[in-house]
């Protein structure tokens, strides 16, 4: 069986939405009953996204198998409603370390090791292995960065070689560019697209399709002009204009005949028309933009200057809102400057504290958790938000003043949150947290049990610290219970205050399991409680 490939490249500038285009194409093909998956190439030198600052690069998305990945992987999972393994996020560091390791072992038998063919072979090998192991009909590979970047060159060269090896009818190149207009009624400019396609052709890649980002629909005359200068037929120049929600992009591409174009190029016959499965997806997309009074959520954290820092949390809240026909409005509160003023919080239906690291902003979060508890405002704490809710409870309800997490104060008298024992000797920061999906046992007669309706759940993790079980009794005596645990009761995973309207903390990251039309249970319960508040 021959897997077909669609390679998505980007031009002009970053942030054009290559990830959304790749996800949308894969969704359309999935709706046409093709077995598809996506790969993200990140040409940077980090081994993975785990060590990168979320304010600069957006959230670190955690896969089931414990990969710390680029946030586009989250888009793929949400669009396809399918788990994507960490092997699908390829970086320069991964490729080079494999090549260098092989060289040190003498596997190249005396050859001079070079970018072409050794590095490019390793890139091709990874892509082909995924296609073969997963028996895919079509694999969509998105190459991060912008054409012309030095870092991307070996990857683009490898993709070019795959086309030569597999033939035109098995490989399609889609190039995402921009047609800016300088004012609202202004002409759509084609020069950036022309230049970026020239750059691509200079390295031997003629794109088959262009997805042109623009604020309003691409005009016919613009398409014609782009076509003339880029050697792409007008039909294959697609408008990727702004829409209300990213989940509407498959629809606008479908209406421009993208599915037919792809299957024709692939010379595939007998494919299923997407329309049968289309309805279900459209129902989900329409439900995602409810027209009602919004539920207002305060998100209190450190990485508030970039909405993408918590992109999966934002989505998960919206999936949950959609399930009860309500939009969710999120306001960001910087935990570093939050001084405990209740007026700032009381106007919200619910408070969410997402994951985080380090000392900066932690006192603001501890105050937030305490106010939510005292004023009976629905609270959901995720990972760091779970840990600091416990610290706040220790200080304010258990009389353990100055209690803390040893991540913040390693000399604290009451180490409520402490390093995972297996982390004691860890020195490397990259890839060394507790990562990926683990099973959690839910206790009977708890809110968690009501929420999940099952005894065992599996959720994704990313942390180095955990609740110190020495304090379990003291907590339960004062009204906070732990309703989920893992590793035979050794690790606490869920906390709740039964007497509260809704007060929950989870050590795992439920946001990574939430999908459009399939909201994650804890988010759903939190949003339900917020809607009633």
Catalytic residues: 383, 509, 511
Instruction: Quote the CA–CA distance of 410 and 532 in Å, as a whole number.
Output: 40
Instruction: Quote the CA–CA distance of 142 and 71 in Å, as a whole number.
Output: 13
CA-to-CA separations, 495 to 37, 99, 514, 529, in angstroms, rounded: 36, 46, 20, 16
* DSSP codes joined into one string, 135-153: T-SEEEEEE-S-TT-TTTH
Residue nearest to ligand GLN (CB): 355
Contact with ligand GLN (CB under 6 A): which of 355, 415, 436, 510? 355
- Tell me the site size for ligand GLN, rule CB under 6 A: 11
* DSSP codes joined into one string, 168-185: GGGEEEEEEEE--BSSTT
- Choice between 247 and 465, CB closer to ligand GLN: 465
> Which positions ≥6 away from 10 have C-beta within 8 Å?
16, 18, 143, 144, 145, 146, 147, 175, 176, 177
Instruction: Quote the CA–CA distance of 398 and 476 in Å, as a whole number.
Output: 10
Please state the φ and ψ torsions of residue 50, each to the nearest 5 degrees: -55, -30
Contact pattern from residue 387 through residue 406 relative to ligand GLN, giving x for each residue in contact according to CB under 6 A and a dash for the rest: x-------------------
DSSP 3: P
Please state the φ and ψ torsions of residue 114, each to the nearest 5 degrees: -135, 165
Min CB(79)–ligand GLN separation in Å: 24
Min CB(358)–ligand GLN separation in Å: 7
- Choice between 25 and 416, CB closer to ligand GLN: 416
- Choice between 80 and 366, CB closer to ligand GLN: 366
Contact pattern from residue 264 through residue 303 relative to ligand GLN, giving x for each residue in contact according to CB under 6 A and a dash for the rest: ----------------------------------------
Burial 417-456 (b: 16+ CB within 10 A, else e): bbbeeeeeeeeeeeeebbbbbbebbbbeebbbbebbeeee
Contact pattern from residue 403 through residue 432 relative to ligand GLN, giving x for each residue in contact according to CB under 6 A and a dash for the rest: ----x-------------------------
Residue 367 in contact with ligand GLN, rule: CB under 6 A: no
Contact pattern from residue 453 through residue 492 relative to ligand GLN, giving x for each residue in contact according to CB under 6 A and a dash for the rest: ---------xxxx---------------------------
Residue 384 in contact with ligand GLN, rule: CB under 6 A: yes
Min CB(397)–ligand GLN separation in Å: 22
- Choice between 350 and 355, CB closer to ligand GLN: 355
Min CB(386)–ligand GLN separation in Å: 8
Min CB(507)–ligand GLN separation in Å: 8
Min CB(335)–ligand GLN separation in Å: 13
Provide the residue count of the chain: 533
Please state the φ and ψ torsions of residue 174, each to the nearest 5 degrees: -115, 125
Helix (H) or strand (E) holding 223: helix 220-230
| Chain positions contacting ligand GLN, by CB under 6 A | 355-357, 383-384, 387, 407, 462-465
């Amino acid at each position: 069986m021959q897997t077909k490939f669609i390679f998505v490249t980007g031009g002009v500038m970053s942030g054009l939405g290559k990830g959304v285009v790749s996800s949308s194409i894969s969704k359309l093909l999935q709706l046409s009953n093709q077995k598809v998956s996506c790969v993200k190439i990140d040409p940077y030198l980090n081994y993975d996204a785990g060590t990168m600052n979320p304010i600069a690069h957006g959230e670190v998305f955690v896969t089931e198998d414990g990969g710390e990945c680029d946030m586009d992987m989250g888009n793929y999972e949400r669009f396809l409603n399918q788990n994507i393994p960490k092997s699908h996020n390829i970086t320069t560091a991964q490729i080079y370390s494999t090549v260098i390791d092989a060289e040190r072992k003498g596997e190249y038998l005396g050859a001079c090791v070079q970018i072409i063919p050794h590095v490019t072979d390793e890139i091709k090998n990874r892509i082909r292995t995924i296609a073969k192991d997963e028996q895919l009909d079509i694999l969509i590979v998105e190459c991060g960065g912008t054409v012309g970047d030095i870092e991307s060159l070996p990857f683009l060269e490898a993709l070019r070689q795959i086309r030569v090896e597999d033939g035109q009818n098995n490989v399609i190149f889609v190039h995402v560019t921009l047609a800016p207009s300088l004012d609202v009624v202004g002409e759509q400019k084609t020069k950036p697209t022309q230049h970026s396609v020239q750059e691509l052709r200079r390295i031997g890649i003629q794109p088959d399709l262009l997805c042109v980002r623009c604020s309003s629909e691409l005009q016919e005359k613009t398409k014609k002009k782009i076509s003339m200068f880029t050697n792409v037929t007008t039909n294959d120049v697609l408008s990727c204009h702004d829409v209300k929600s990213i989940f509407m992009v498959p629809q606008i591409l479908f209406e421009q005949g993208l599915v037919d174009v792809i299957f024709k190029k692939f010379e595939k016959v007998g494919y299923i028309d997407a329309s049968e499965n289309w309805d279900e997806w459209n129902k989900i997309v329409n439900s995602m933009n409810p027209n009602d009074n919004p539920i207002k959520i305060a998100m209190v954290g450190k990485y508030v200057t970039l909405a993408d820092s918590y992109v999966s949390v934002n989505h998960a809240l919206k999936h949950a809102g959609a399930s009860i026909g309500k939009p969710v409005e999120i306001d960001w509160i910087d935990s570093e400057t939050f001084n405990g003023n209740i007026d700032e919080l009381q106007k919200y239906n619910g408070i969410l504290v997402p994951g985080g690291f380090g000392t900066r902003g932690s006192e603001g979060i501890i105050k937030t958790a305490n106010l939510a508890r005292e004023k009976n405002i629905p609270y959901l704490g995720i990972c760091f938000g779970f840990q600091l809710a416990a610290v706040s409870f220790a200080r304010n309800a258990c009389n353990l003043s100055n209690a803390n997490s040893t991540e913040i104060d390693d000399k604290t008298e009451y180490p409520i949150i402490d390093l995972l024992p297996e982390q004691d000797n860890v020195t490397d920061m990259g890839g060394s947290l507790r990562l990926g999906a683990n099973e959690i046992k839910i206790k009977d007669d708890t809110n968690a049990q009501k929420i999940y309706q099952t005894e065992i759940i599996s959720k994704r993790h990313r942390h180095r610290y955990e609740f110190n079980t020495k304090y379990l009794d003291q907590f339960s005596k004062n009204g906070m219970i732990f309703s989920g645990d893992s590793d035979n009761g050794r690790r606490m995973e869920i906390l709740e205050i039964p007497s509260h309207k809704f007060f929950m903390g989870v050590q795992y990251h439920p946001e990574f399991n939430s999908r459009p039309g399939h909201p994650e249970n804890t988010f759903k319960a939190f949003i339900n409680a917020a809607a009633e508040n």
